[in-house]
Chain A
C-alpha cells in the first residue's frame, strides 16, 4: 500500500476502462491492475469454455535490432534462436552465471532481418533492461525499451479465433499456428497478432499502440468478450502447469529446478549454461513438482510440505482448489529425493496435515492450436 502513498504505482492505458467496468483493482508488479470484474470463477470458466480477455499492457516490450542481434540474444537466452524463422515466437529464460533466473520471456523474430522483440514480465522490466544493456556492450545491437508505448491484450479461449476474425476483420488469423505471429494494420498502426497465451487454451496476444489498445478493448467488449482479471489469469496458468516468475522462477530458482530444461539448449553457449549443466548432472538440491491432496483444503504459497515422518521437505509456491478440475493442487519446491511421481507428500495447512502425492505439473490438458 505504501506504493500508492508514494504515488509510484503506474496505470496501464486501459485503467479507465477497468474502473468503468467496476473491476476490483489492486497493485501488481508496480501497476494498478484489475484483479476481477464479475468474479474469478466466472472469468476462469469463460476462458475455458468460451472466450475471455486480459489487459496485459503492464508486460514489457524490448526491441533488439542490429547485425549481431541474433548472436546477442542467443548469448543471453537459454533457448536456441538460430534456425527459427521470421514470424516465430520462442519461450525461454535469461539466466545469471550461477543459473538463477533473471526472467522468463518470449522472443519474437520479426519479418525484418536482424529485428527481434523480447516480451518480459512487468515486475522485471527495469531489471531486465539494465541486464540486457550490460550484456550488450560487446555486441553491435540497438536496444529500445518500448514498454511505455505499447499496450497488450490477451484474448483467450476456444472462441478466441472466431472473436479475433470478427473484431479485426482478419480471417487469416485462422491460419496462424501456435507460437507464431503476423503483423496486421489496426487504426493505421502496426498490430502484432501473436498466437500465444498464458492460460492453457488457444488464444492470441495483441500488441499495438496505447490508443489502438483502448479502441480494441472497446470493440472486444462490444463483441461480448468477458473481461478477465489477474485473479483468474493466475488460476488458469497454474492449472496449465505454467510458471510465474517470482513464485516458480527467481534468482534462486533456475530453469532446471523449475523443470523447464526443455527450454535450455546446451549445444550452444549462453550465460548460466555451465551452472545449469552442473545442476542437471546432480548438483541440484530441489525440484519443482505438482502435488495433489485428498481434501478440499487449499495449499497456499509458503505452506510446508512434509514427508511421511513429518519431516519438512519443501514448500508450496502456488496452490489452489482448481476451478476446472475440482481438486486441491499445488506447485511445490521439494528436496530432489522426494520429486518422483506418486511420492507420498503431505501439506501442513494451518494446524492440520493433509496427505497427498506428487503428480504431473500440467494438471489440465491444454488445448493449443496445432
Chain B
C-alpha cells in the first residue's frame, strides 16, 4: 500500500506538487518510487531553467530502468535538491521529503488540472 499525502496535488505521471505561495515543490509519489525500485540516479535541471507543464524536466534511474520526470506546472526552476545527486536513495526512503525541484510558477491555474489525494488514490487503484 503506497503512502499518499493529503494536501498535495498529483499528476497522472505520479509527480506530486506542494504549493507555498507562488512556488511549487515537485517530487515523485511513494507509488512511483516503489514501482521504480532502488533509485540510483536523479537527472535534474539547473536553477534558472524553464519548465513547461506536461514536459520532461529530468529523469529517475533505477538499476534496470529509466523513468522521465514530467513537470506538472510551468515556470522557472528556482532551486534544485542537490542532496539527491549524492543520495538518490532518499527518494526511496521518503518520496514526499525528497523534493526534486522548486519552481516559481508562471501559470498557477495549471494546478487546477492536477488531482487531489483522493483522486490520485483512485488512479493508482490501491
> Which A residues form the contact surface with B (CB < 8 A)?
35-36, 39-41, 44, 231, 234-235, 296-298, 300, 320-321, 323, 349-350, 352
Contacts and interface: CB of A to CB of B under 8 A. Distances in A.
A321 B63 contact: yes
Interface string B20-44: 0000000000000000011011010
A231 B64 contact: yes
Interface of B: 37-38, 40-41, 43, 56, 59, 61-64, 66, 85
Contacts of B62: 40
A297 B37 contact: no
Interface of A is mostly: mixed
B61 A297 contact: yes
Contacts of A298: 40-41, 61, 66
Nearest to B88: A296
9 contacts: A40-B37, A44-B63, A297-B43, A298-B40, A300-B66, A321-B63, A349-B43, A350-B56, A352-B43
Nearest to B41: A296
Which residue, of B59, B62, B63, has the highest number of chain A Cβ atoms within 10 A? B63
B41 A297 contact: yes
A39 B43 contact: no
B63 A235 contact: yes
Contacts of A39: 37-38
Contact of B43 (A36, A235, A323, A350): A350
A35 B63 CA distance: 12
Contacts of B66: 298, 300
Closest 8 CB pairs of A and B: A40-B63, A298-B61, A296-B41, A321-B40, A41-B38, A231-B64, A300-B66, A39-B38
A361 B96 CA distance: 39
B37 A321 contact: no
A41 B64 CA distance: 10
A234 B38 CA distance: 16
Nearest to A349: B43
Contact of A40 (B38, B59, B85): B38
Nearest to A351: B56
B18 to A, nearest CB: 25
Contacts of A296: 40-41, 85
Contacts of A35: 64
A235 B43 CA distance: 21
B41 A41 contact: no
Nearest to A321: B40
A234 B59 CA distance: 22
Contacts of B43: 297, 349-350, 352
B37 to A, nearest CB: 6
Nearest to A328: B41
Contact of A231 (B41, B59, B63, B85): B63
Nearest to A44: B63
